[in-house]
Amino acid sequence: MIESAAENYSVAAREHIDAVGANRTIFDFGLRQQENQLAADRDQLLVAKKRARSQPRAIENHPFTQRHQIARRSEFADHDLALLEADRTDAIFHEIGNGSFFTKADSDIWRLCVPASQAYAAVQDAGAHLWYADWAGGLLWLVASANDETAVRFRGITKQFGGHATLMRAADAVRARLAVFEPEAPARATLTRAVKAAFDGRHVLNPGRMFEGI
């Protein structure tokens, strides 16, 4: 009986050892797989960095790019052309984004945000004599008088297409009388008041800055 029990224990021990060995093999295989994936990712990253460094020159020297540049130069041969470097390009887009093009204009300025697909229709309905677009048309800067009629017309446009109209610049007296920001729908206004009350129960942080009574 003792010999039988010892034999059974020996068999169980061998099975346990085999199971442990199998699990160890699976673990080692998984670890190698992870190491191989990390090595592949590292190699891809190095290749991407090399391509990023070489891509501008490769694109610039590509025959199609050179032919295109020649064609553009001939098309605008009668006009002054200039190559904009990165810093100047960044400055121009910054001016576009903050409406700097209108800073010298002695007029009221509005900003409309609408779906880009509706930009043309929004501009036509707005009737502004001077405007420009950003965000592929989703952001419209318009020169128009700050009065009740303009506010109703512009906010009717944003209500129709979706979006909002903001009075960006006007005399202080006008800004005090007109709603500078798009009036909120009743349900949203209720949420705004609740959030404001939670964060600023004493109403000391810019009261009335965006909406009257908030």
Encode pLDDT of 3-58 as tens digits.
454 454 444 445 544 554 545 555 455 556 666 665 666 666 565 555 555 555 55
Tell me what the pLDDT averaged over the chain comes to: 76
Sheet arrangement for strand 130-134:
130-134, 139-143, 109-113, 164-169
CB 114 within 8 A of CB 154: no
Alpha carbon distance 140, 157 (integer Å): 12
Looking at the chain, the number of H-run helices and the number of E-run strands are 7, 4
180-195 burial: b if 16+ Cβ within 10 Å, else e? bebebeeeeeeeeeee
Alpha carbon distance 199, 168 (integer Å): 26
Over range 98-119, report the average pLDDT: 87
CB 142 within 8 A of CB 126: yes
Over range 64-68, report the average pLDDT: 53
Alpha carbon distance 130, 155 (integer Å): 18
Write down the pLDDT at residue 66: 55
pTM above 0.95, yes or no: no
Band of the pLDDT at 105, cuts 50, 70, 90? Answer: confident
Report the 10 Å Cβ neighbour count for 126.
Answer: 20
